[in-house]
Amino acid sequence: QVQLVESGGGSVQAGGSLRLSCAASGYTASSYCMGWFRRAPGKEREGVATISSDGSTRYADSVKGRFTISQDKSKKTLYLQMNSLKSEDTAIYYCAARLRASECGAFSYWGQGTQVNVSS
């Protein structure tokens, strides 16, 4: 079955950087969309960034210029490089996948999440 396993979360001071990874397994798909989402304490889950199988990316306004989503197709691994972190970036970060689709939409598969804490 499809599995998504995030890693790389932790605690960092404001202004610092972290890189999240998401190892995907259990599927074969030439077209897909993968994304990072987050849920901050007391808030609803929000989209952070997405990347399609053709390499096109989209970002939430709140992270543009600070976060970079990328992928290593040979390793089926998704990354989120987070720079200039702010306290408001504190959240649980989730990896998600939508398979056999050329456009990003509803995501069918989710990881368990990794905690990111940014102290000011």
DSSP string, the chain: --EEEEE--EEEETT--EEEEEEEES---SSEEEEEEEE-TTS--EEEEEEETT--EEE-TTTTTTEEEEEETTTTEEEEEE-S--GGG-EEEEEEEEES-SS--S--EE---EEEEEE-
pLDDT for 27: 87
> For the segment 43-99, what is each residue's pLDDT rounded down to a tens digit?
999 999 999 999 999 999 999 999 999 999 999 999 999 999 999 999 999 999 999
Higher pLDDT, 30 or 72: 72
